[in-house]
Chain A
Amino acid sequence: MLAKRMAIIMFLCSLLSVLLAGCWDEKNIEEHGFVVGTAIDQVDGQTKENLMIALTNQFVIPAGIGTPAEGGGEQKAFLNLTVHGESMFNIGRNMASQTSRVPFYEHLKVLIVSEELADTPELLATLVDFFIRDHEMRRGVNIYISEGKAKEILEIEPKPERIPAMFLNTVTDNEQEALEMISSVQIGDLHGFLLQPFSYVLPKIAAEEDKSKVHDDKTAVFRGYNNQMVGTLTGEETKGLNLLTEKNKSGSIVFEIDNKPMAYEVTGTNLKMDIDTTDPGNLEVSINIKANGGIAEMFGDRSLLDEAYIAKIEDKVAEEIEQLANQTIKKVQHELNTDVLEIGKTLKQKHYALWEKIKDNWENGENYFSKANIHVSAEVNVRQTGVTDRAKNREHRK
Chain B
Amino acid sequence: MKRFEYADEGITGREIMILMPSVVIGVGVLTFPKGLAAVTVGADGWISILVGGMIAIFLTWAIAKMAASFPGQSFINYASLIASKPVAIILTFLFAMIALQMVVFQVRQIGEMSKQYIFDRTPLEVVSLIFLLVVIYGISGSRVALFRLNMLFFPIILLVSFVLLLFNLIRIDVGNLLPIFKTGFQGHIKGISDVSTSYIGMGVLWLYIALVKQPKKAPKQAVIGMSIPVGIYLFIYVMCIGVFGNHVTMNLIYPTIELAKAVEIPGEFFERFESIFFVVWIMAIFNTAVLTFDVAVFAITSIFKKAPKVKVIFILSPLVYFAAMLPHDIVEVAALGSFVGFTAIIYTTFVVIFLFVIAKIRGVKHVG
A58 vs B198: C-alpha distance when bound (angstroms): 43
Q: A138 to chain B: which residues have CB within 8 Å?
A: 261
Q: Which residues of A contact B117 (CB under 8 A)?
A: 135
- Check B120 against A188 for contact (C-beta < 8 Å): no
Q: A24-B123, A25-B120, A25-B122 are in contact. Are A350 and B178 (CB under 8 A)?
A: yes
Interface string of B84-120 (1 = CB under 8 A from A): 0000000000000000000000000000000011111
Q: Please give, as numbers and ranges, the residues of chain B lying within 8 Å of A361 by CB-CB distance.
A: none
Closest to A348 in B: B179
Give per-residue flags for A119-155: 1 if the beta carbon is below 8 A from chain B beta carbons, else 0. 0000000000000000100111000000000000000
Q: Given contacts A348-B179, A352-B179, is CB(A140)–CB(B248) below 8 Å?
A: no
Q: Show 17 residue pairs from A and B whose CB-CB distance is below 8 angstroms, ordered by the A residue.
A: A20-B130, A24-B122, A24-B123, A25-B121, A135-B116, A135-B120, A138-B261, A139-B261, A139-B262, A140-B262, A188-B244, A188-B248, A188-B262, A192-B245, A196-B245, A345-B175, A349-B178
Chain B residues within 8 Å of A352, by CB? 41, 179, 182
Distance from A37 Cβ to chain B, minimum over Cβ atoms (Å): 18
Which of the residues A135, A192, A349 comes within 8 Å of B248, measured between beta carbons?
A192
B258 at interface (Cβ–Cβ under 8 A)?
A: yes
9 additional A-B pairs beyond A139-B261, A192-B248, A350-B178, beta carbons within 8 Å, are: A24-B119, A25-B120, A25-B122, A135-B116, A135-B120, A139-B258, A188-B248, A196-B247, A352-B179
Q: Chain B contacts of A171 at CB under 8 A?
A: none
Interface: A23 (CB within 8 A): yes
Question: Chain A contact residues: over half helix, strand or loop, or mixed?
Answer: helix
A191 interface residue per 8 A CB criterion: yes
A23 to B261 alpha-carbon distance, docked (Å): 24
Task: Give 1 or 0 for each of B167-185: 1 = CB within 8 Å of chain A CB.
Answer: 0000000010011001000
A331 → chain B, closest Cβ, in Å? Answer: 24
Cβ of A195 under 8 Å from chain B: yes
Chain B residues near A192: list those with CB within 8 A. Answer: 244-245, 247-248
Chain A residue numbers with a CB within 8 Å of B130 are 20
* Cα distance A138–B42 in the bound complex, in angstroms: 24
Q: Is B142 an interface residue (CB 8 A)?
A: no
> Which residues in B have their C-beta under 8 angstroms from that of A191?
248, 251
Q: Does B15 contact A (CB under 8 A)?
A: no
Closest to B264 in A: A140
Which residue on B lies nearest to A353, using beta carbons? Answer: B182
B179 touches A349 (CB 8 A): yes
Chain A residues with CB below 8 A from B123, complex form:
24
Q: Report the minimal beta-carbon distance from B2 to chain A, rounded to whole angstroms.
A: 13
Residues of B within 8 A of A (CB): 41-42, 116-123, 126, 130, 175, 178-179, 182, 244-245, 247-248, 251, 258, 261-262, 264
Nearest A residue to B257 via CB reads A135
A126 shortest CB reach to chain B, Å:
16
Cα–Cα, bound, A140→B121 (Å): 25
Q: A195 vs B118: C-alpha distance in the bound complex, in angstroms? A: 27
For the complex, give the distance between the alpha carbons of A192 and B242 in Å: 12
Query: What chain A residues lie within 8 Å of B264 (beta carbons)?
Result: 140
Which residue of A has the minimal Cβ distance to B176? A192
User: Closest approach, in angstroms, between the C-beta of B317 and any C-beta of chain A?
Assistant: 16
CB distance from B168 to the nearest CB of A (A): 12
* Leading 9 A-B pairs by shortest Cβ distance: A349-B178, A24-B122, A195-B247, A352-B179, A24-B121, A192-B248, A352-B182, A25-B119, A192-B245
Given known pairs A192-B247, A192-B248, the reply for A349 and B262 (CB within 8 Å) is no
Q: Name the residue on B nearest A355 (C-beta).
A: B179
Q: Which residues 185-219 in A have Cβ within 8 Å of B in the complex?
A: 188, 191-192, 195-196
Contacts of B175 in A (CB 8 A): 345, 349
Q: Which chain B residue shows the least CB distance to A356?
A: B182
How far apart sit A352 and B178, CA to CA, in the bound complex (Å)? 9
Residues of B within 8 A of A19 (CB): 126
A332-354 CB mask vs B (1 if < 8 Å, else 0) is 00000000000001001110100
B70 to chain A, nearest CB (A): 43
Q: From the candidates B41, B122, B244, name the one contacting A23 in the complex (CB within 8 A).
A: B122
Given the interface contacts A191-B248, A192-B248, does A350 sit within 8 Å of B121 by beta carbon? no
**B42 CB → nearest A CB, Å:** 8
Chain A, residues 18-51, CB within 8 Å of chain B (1/0): the string is 0110011100000000000000000000000000
Shortest CB-to-CB span from B121 to chain A, Å, is: 4
For B127, the closest partner residue in chain A by CB is A24
B125 to chain A, nearest CB (A): 11
In whole Å, how far is B127's beta carbon from the nearest beta carbon of chain A? 10
Instruction: Give the residues in chain B near A140, CB-CB below 8 Å.
Output: 262, 264
- Measured between alpha carbons, how far is A188 from B116 in the docked complex, in Å? 18
The residue on A at minimum CB distance from B245 is A192
Assess the B248–A195 pair: CB atoms within 8 A. yes
* CB 8 Å contact bits of A53-75 with B (1 = contact, 0 = none): 00000000000000000000000
A28 to B245, CA, bound (A): 38
- Which of chain B's residues has its CB closest to A20's CB? B130
| B197 smallest CB distance to A (angstroms) | 25
Q: Complex: how many Å from CA A195 to CA B130?
A: 38
Chain A CB within 10 A, most for which of B41, B42, B261, B264: B261
Distance in Å from the Cβ of A24 to the closest Cβ of chain B? 4
Q: How close is A27's CB to chain B, nearest CB, in angstroms?
A: 9
Nearest B residue to A19, CB-CB: B126
Tell me the minimal C-beta distance from A197 to chain B in angstroms: 9
B-facing residues in A283-339 (Cβ within 8 Å): none
C-alpha gap A154/B341 in the complex (Å): 51
* Distance (whole angstroms) from the CB of B172 to the closest CB of chain A: 13
Q: How far is the CA of A195 from the CA of B178 in the complex (A)?
A: 17
